[in-house]
Amino acid sequence: MLWDWQATYFEPEPDNAAGGGWVRLGVAWYDHGFFDDRREAAFGYLHRRIYDRIGLTDKDITITHWSRVPEPFSTA
């Protein structure tokens, strides 16, 4: 797993007086088995403690995974 910091940013929610918005995180998973095991890590104990500190619940969190399967390598 590798954090893609160039693809990580905060997107403010328009007209949110509390200063809310979205945090977009870029992560590259290089091992599909590891990804399958850890894909829900954002709902684990450590993350829940962070959410509690800033007043969020699981209902406030949305995670979307995209997968890019590389083309087969050709030596031709």
Q: What is the pLDDT of residues 4-23, one digit of tens each?
A: 778 788 899 999 888 888 88
0.75 surpassed by pTM: no
Answer whether residue 30 is part of any domain.
yes
For residue 30, give its domain range.
Answer: 2-60
Is 8 within a domain?
Answer: yes
Is residue 25 assigned to a domain?
yes
> What phi, psi does 3 have (nearest 5°)?
-70, 130
Residues with Cβ within 8 Å of 51's Cβ and at least 6 positions away in sequence, in order, are 57, 58, 60, 61
**Model confidence pLDDT, tens digit, residues 33-43:** 888 888 888 89
Whether 75 is in a domain gets the answer no
| Count of the separate structural domains present in the chain | 1
Helices (H), 1-76: 32-38, 45-53
Tokens of 59: 């209902």
28, β-bridge pairs: 2
Residue 73 is assigned to a structural domain of this protein:
no
- Name the residue type at position 60: D
Looking at the domain assignment, is residue 32 inside a domain?
A: yes
